[in-house]
């Protein structure tokens, strides 16, 4: 077989195996077979430097010091959601939407506590990852996002595709990270969100690679251009393309159904392997979403129900007094 063709074949094959392992939790090959194919690809790429590709599976965890993050203007603003804290406020949101679209249905999803991210693909190839920034302009953090194993480098979709989601640090990864910080006598991270944000915005890509970050995608920015008409269809389409999507969502026609989802997630929240701080409720129809548009700072087609902050009791064992630099 032509070696250039074999390189492309191996890249796609390893991408599929990585998706099965990291996203679907259903590997179809052994670790030994995966390693054998990876070594074959490494050898072939070493013999053909002209075919180098930063999206190759061999390049995804190589550390490098970046010169700085370039800026990128979002095609559509990345906005924060308005917050609500009661059933009464949820009823008001649904009523506002139904005033314009009486038959509107909604999708309820988990709200992740992480760093908002936009991923860009051109003709199926990953080309760019951008933080939310100020909503209009974000930082290009492509090299660091490449180290997240669950992010596909290739998808089966033509033209331009932009999907958005949240980079997060699993609870177990956060605990291990702070154990390392303690061992090295370094400051502890306050929470998984801060740890994830600091990892993604670090100019040393080896830091992001070492932090075991993950991502959930929840918004297909240009879904209508690809013939997708609802938020539920967009979640299914992203899942089918190989993106990590939390398929525990609900299509709801009534406030009671939305509230039932909120209560169900509330009960399982503490047992989830990742941090959430609420539930996002979105209008299901993407055409209705476009028509509802935006307020000055938040979208009119979506709202975030926020759970009360989780509280735990701690015991103070001792206090150590030290003298500061100035006495």
From the list 12, 71, 99, 111, the catalytic residue is: 111
Coil, strand or helix at 72: strand
Q: Are 131 and 117 in contact (CB under 8 A)?
A: yes
- Could you give the CA distance from residue 141 to residue 199 in angstroms, rounded to a whole number? 11
**Contact status, residue 251 vs residue 265, Cβ threshold 8 Å:** no
Rounded alpha-carbon distances, angstroms, from residue 11 to 40, 127, 162, 221: 11, 16, 22, 27
Using an 8 Å Cβ cutoff, are 66 and 203 in contact? yes
Q: Which two tokens stand for residue 91?
A: 């009823």
| Residue from 239, 194, 196, 236 nearest 214 by CA | 196
Here the tokens at position 295 are: 């307020």
- In total, the chain counts a number of residues equal to 327
Q: In angstroms, what CA-CA distances link 121 with 83, 208, 222, 235, 256?
A: 31, 21, 11, 17, 38
Residue 7: CB atoms within 10 Å: 20
Question: What's the DSSP call for residue 138?
Answer: E
Burial 94-103, CB ≥16 within 10 A → b, else e: beebeeebee
* Strand 302-306 versus strand 83-84 pairing type: parallel
- CA 134 – CA 161 distance, rounded (Å): 22
- The residues, ordered by sequence, that sit 6+ positions from 99 with a Cβ below 8 Å of its Cβ are none
Q: Coil, strand, or helix at residue 245?
A: coil
Whether 111 is catalytic? yes
Catalytic residues: 111
């Amino acid at each position: 077989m032509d070696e250039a063709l074999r390189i492309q074949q191996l890249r796609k094959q390893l991408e599929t195996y990585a998706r099965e392992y990291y996203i679907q939790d259903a590997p179809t090959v052994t670790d030994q077979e995966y390693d054998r194919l990876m070594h074959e690809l490494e050898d072939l790429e070493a013999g053909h430097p002209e075919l180098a590709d930063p999206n190759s599976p061999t390049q995804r965890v190589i550390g490098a010091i970046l010169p700085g993050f370039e800026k990128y203007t979002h095609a559509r603003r990345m906005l924060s959601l308005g917050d609500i804290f009661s059933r009464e406020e949820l009823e008001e949101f649904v009523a506002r939407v139904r005033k314009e679209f009486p038959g509107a249905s909604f999708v309820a999803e988990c709200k992740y506590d992480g760093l908002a991210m936009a991923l860009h693909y051109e003709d199926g190839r990953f080309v760019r990852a951008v933080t939310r920034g100020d909503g209009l302009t974000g930082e290009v953090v492509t090299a660091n996002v490449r180290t997240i194993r669950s992010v596909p480098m290739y998808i089966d979709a033509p033209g331009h595709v932009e999907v958005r989601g949240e980079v997060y640090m699993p609870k177990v990864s956060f605990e291990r990270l702070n154990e390392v910080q303690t061992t090295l006598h370094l400051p502890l991270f306050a929470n998984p969100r801060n740890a994830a944000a600091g990892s993604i915005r670090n100019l040393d890509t080896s830091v992001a690679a070492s932090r075991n970050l993950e991502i959930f995608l929840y918004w297909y920015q240009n879904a209508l251009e690809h013939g997708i008409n609802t938020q539920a269809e967009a979640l299914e389409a992203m899942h089918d393309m190989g993106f990590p999507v939390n398929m525990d969502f609900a299509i709801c026609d009534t406030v009671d159904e939305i509230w039932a989802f909120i209560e169900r997630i509330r009960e399982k929240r503490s047992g989830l392997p990742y941090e959430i701080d609420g539930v996002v409720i979105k209008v299901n129809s993407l055409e209705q979403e476009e028509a509802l548009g935006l307020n000055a700072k938040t979208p009119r087609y979506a709202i975030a129900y926020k759970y009360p902050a989780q509280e735990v009791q701690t015991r103070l064992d001792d206090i150590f007094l030290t003298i500061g630099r100035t006495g």
